[in-house]
Amino acid sequence: MASVTATVRQGALRGKVATTHTGKTYYSFQGIPYAKPPVGPLRFKPPEPAEPWTGVRDATKEGNVAPQFSDTTQQYMGDEDCLFLNVYTPQMPSDSSSSLTPVMVWIHGGGYTVGSGNTDMYGPDYLLEHGVVVVTLNYRLGVLGFMSTGDSVVTGNMGLKDQVMALRWVKENISVFGGDTDNITIFGESAGSRACHLHVLSPMAKGLFHRAICQSSVASRGSLDAPVAERTFRLAHHLGLKQGASSEELLAFMKEVPARKLVEEMMHCRSQKDKTLQEMFPFRPTLEPAGTEGTLISEDPADIMSSGKFTPVPIIFGVTSQEGLIYAGVLGKKDAWRDLDANFDVLVPPTAAATPDERRVAAQEIRRFYLGDRPLGDDTFLQYAQLRGDYYFVYTALEVTRLHASVPAAQPVYFYFFDVETKLNIFKVMFGASKYKGAAHADDIPYLFRFGLLNPSPPNSVEGRVIARMTKLWTNFAKTGKPTPGGDDIIPVSWPAVSADHCQYLEITNDELAIKENLFKERMDFWNALHKKKAGV
């Protein structure tokens, strides 16, 4: 295996020379520490910069993933020493080539509970074909990354702060790999998408990136209101912390619990409402107490957007055509359906109703609109999936897109709708929803990244053509801030930016790209009306 060396601020790295599926050479550096291991006294603390090393560090294999249960094997895996990133570059800097390459930093999804930046899901091949540097990273997950006491003792969002530390590392070091420190795009899907949006809204990451792509999840009004502190104390009490303990006592107690036990027992943090909703990702970003040191976000995202107090960068937002299919596997049991049907008001978002009476009325309206007079169950799953997908993903993404577009100083904002259906829609299969038409949540990922186990699709296949279009759009945007700068055979359309009163979007299907507007108009009008009623408009 041919090797290549690079020297970053912490020391020298030995990477490897590799080739993409088409035989194009690139340079791979994996398992690079971007922060100190968050262990011992650093557990539940903000990340600290990585220590320097002596000699040449091996960067030919991936680092540890964060502690988690594997989605596929249901086995515990990972290590607390997990703050590593990977750099893949099409060219190392040399005297003959002084031009620097645009950088794309991927933040993985997985409900802030599972996942990593590894090539088993995020192989860089397809993007590298377009001459960009690709960076993927790991960050702390679950209770270890998102526990909060609701005060200054553990402010929460440590996993997001890890990501900011990784972005700082990229800003400081990426030129060593031929990357342009003045042209960095962050992009992510699901939890990674919401993280990207939060970095746009937070002052902490200001100046560390220049564009953002948010696939399927956003930071919308109320999205940081999850009762994370309550869940933290509930879990700690379950593990043996005495009732009435202070935040300081909780922190000292939780620091002593082995990481594996924290991951294995994590779901005991859930309330009855969480269980009814089949909440699988209870630890997540949360509002931090205002005025505390090192705060990432302490104001509701919608208020930040409305006031324009965010970093104005060009953004792409978008959704898949059947986001709600993600809920298929969760509700396979009869009693789960019965429980949810009997407590239908838990499906009413707090942004649509405040009082119990409002919730009851809103629940009736939502049920009537999506289900008619039918109960929840296997035969109404598609309607249930649309209900949850519409509110949690589509409506919120469109609202956030409009908010950004209406800020006078905002940069261009684009919206896409992904409705491709081929054998690469593997998430739909994993969710147990393959009998339904459309693209499930996360089904856009395999058209951007090469999954380690999948053979690459031939360029003239439907899959190959969609991959060519998606990667061209995304890398065009990373290079220029415009997804369709023009003069391109693969991209025959001009994708317009959204305006405050005109939400045009790019529809991506198996065969074509088309510009449309008023996505899911009747369903979106329903949610608009529900929210206006609550606001008394």
Q: Which residue(s) pair with 77 in the sheet?
A: 68
In single-letter form, the type of residue at position 275 comes to K
3-class DSSP assignment, residue 104: strand
What one-letter code names the amino acid at 336?
A
CA proximity to 206, closest of 101, 83, 312, 127: 312
Active site residue 323: yes
417 SS3 class:
strand
Strand locations in 93-205 (E): 101-107, 133-137, 179-189
Cα separation, 248 vs 287, in Å, equals 19
Angle subtended at Cα 217 by Cα 216 and Cα 219, rounded to the nearest 5 degrees: 155
Can 246 be counted among the known catalytic residues? no
What are the structure tokens assigned to 514, written together? 């088309």
- The span from the CA of 127 to the CA of 419, in Å, is 21
**C-alpha closest to that of 467 among 119, 106, 105, 22:** 22
Q: Kindly write down the DSSP assignment for every residue of 55-80, as one continuous string.
A: SEEE-SS--PPPSEE-TTT--EE--S
User: Beta strands of 205-356 (E only): which ranges?
Assistant: 211-215, 315-320
Which residue(s) pair with 505 in the sheet?
516
State the catalytic residue, choosing from 129, 189, 323, 421.
323
Q: Which residue has the tokens 């509002």?
A: 287
Catalytic residue among 108, 197, 404, 441: 441
Question: Rounded to an integer, what distance in angstroms lies between the CA atom of residue 186 and that of residue 379?
Answer: 40
CA proximity to 270, closest of 78, 139, 142, 158? 142
Q: How far apart are CA 460 and CA 296, in angstroms?
A: 45
DSSP codes, 476-516:
HHHHHS-S--S--SS--S--PPPBTTB-EEEEEESS-EEEE
CA distances from 27 to 20, 93, 331 (A): 10, 11, 44
Dihedral class, residue 55 (left if φ above 0, else alpha if ψ from -120 to 50, else beta): left
> Alpha-carbon distance 177 to 173, whole Å?
8
Q: Is 441 a catalytic residue?
A: yes
Tell me which of 175, 190, 217, 223 is the catalytic residue. 190
Structure tokens at 94: 């040399």
Active-site annotation, residues: 190, 323, 441
